[in-house]
Structure 1
Amino acid sequence: MKTELVINEKLHDDEVKIHTKTATAGARILSYIDHFTTDRENLIIRSDEEFLMIQKLDIICAEVQDKTLTIYTQNEQVMTTKSLSGLMEEIKSETFLKVSKSEMLNIQMIDRVEPSFSGNLIARMKNGKKVSISRRYVSLIKERLGI
């Protein structure tokens, strides 16, 4: 991969252009950039009458069961009534992908991906949790991981 940094003091705002041969390479580069910028921000999550500050970078995955969203981080599980789509919108990061109608994951926290039945995949996360990737999202996760 060839890289180049061009400094142009005449620009009004910082501007970054990424030229890639494939969409996969572009998605991976955007994910890395996102990881080092927006993923270091904090989210405020309401849980059991308290507000917790969670760094986006620490989120491994999240799942919804019975209208309760459980967010798995490096150190804890946080339960809230927030919706999965609401969490995804609040995160706004290329590092996080919705992988089924009830689960999302941080692609930086995937340890390995294994095939499952019916064309699904299973992502084994760094904390040991298994996350099911439905067929609808398999091509997206493969593109993002470059596999």
Structure 2
Amino acid sequence: MKALIIDDERLARNELRRLLENFPKIEVVGEAANADEAIKMVNELRPDLLFLDIQMPGKNGFELLEALEDDTIPEVIFTTAYDEYALKAFEYNALDYILKPIDLPRLSEAVHRVFEELDRKHDHDSISERKMLGENDQVFIKDGEKCWFVKLGKVRLFESMGNYVRLHFDDQKPLVLKSLNALEERLDPISFFRANRKHIINLQWIEKIEPWFSGGLLVTLRGSGEKIEISRRQAIRFKDMLSL
């Protein structure tokens, strides 16, 4: 597994690299002192894992992830001296959040979690290819004690909530234990569109489209009135896909 260490403190990078020598399956392929350096290295080296500080000069760790192309985002372990960003970190699907100073047992726990996630993805990929799910397919959903058997065409919005996805249909909003990326792989792109990092929208439920900041778009969903931003990058795809 190729890893990249991103931290503005040289001593912190050196110490983490030293600790990672205890894990021969992880190869540190580079270090970056700021987000701009890191973005270039991610695009060139295509690492599998980032050890990412949050507070850095220029872009912070969250802004770095937002600047990456969706298909180049590696797994992420945040390494920081601040505990107040933990909730936000998991909104970015981080595998772990380690507070400095980092010790070997805590790092070992995080690395174990990384390999568990890799095994899970490998098992998923090893399953025979499943058919793409379209708006006419029905799916079983269980959230706590409640169960639904719902046609996907009724689901207007999929919303990432860390390691879960919230489905919006009728007046229901159940959670399922699945990442938005994994769900996107199963959904038919003719009907379902990845609007941004947190949302997939059902194109049949769009009622209104408006220009938005920085070249993005703002869509209003029919019935619910929910407003979802289509990011600038995705807005380009959206226009290409739906234009004559």
User: TM-score range, shorter-chain basis?
Assistant: 0.5 to 0.7
Give the structure-2-normalised TM-score.
Answer: 0.41
| Residue aligned with 1:141, SS | helix
The residue aligned with 2:153 is: 57
Q: Normalized against structure 1, the TM-score is what? A: 0.66
Structure 1 stretches of 4+ moved >3 Å:
none
Which one has a bigger Cα radius of gyration?
2
1:142 counterpart = 2:239: yes
Higher relative contact order at CA 8 Å, sep ≥6: structure 1 or structure 2?
1
Any unmatched runs of 5+ in structure 2? Answer: 1-132
| 8 A contact 1:39–1:93 mirrored in 2 | no
AA in 1 matched with 2:158: A
Which of 46, 49, 53 is the aligned partner of 2:142? 46
**RMSD between aligned residues:** 2.1
CA contact (8 A) 2:192 2:202 kept: yes
**Deviation per residue, 1:94-125 (Å, 9 max, x gap):** 11011111111011110011111111111100
Q: Name the % identity.
A: 23
1:110 to 206, 213, 218: 206
CA distance in 2, matches of 1:77, 1:54: 12
- Structure that is richer in strand per residue: 1
Please show how residues 1-147 of structure 1 align to structure 2 within 5 Å.
38-126=134-222, 127-146=224-243
Matched length:
111
Aligned residue in 2 for 1:6: none
Higher helix share: 2
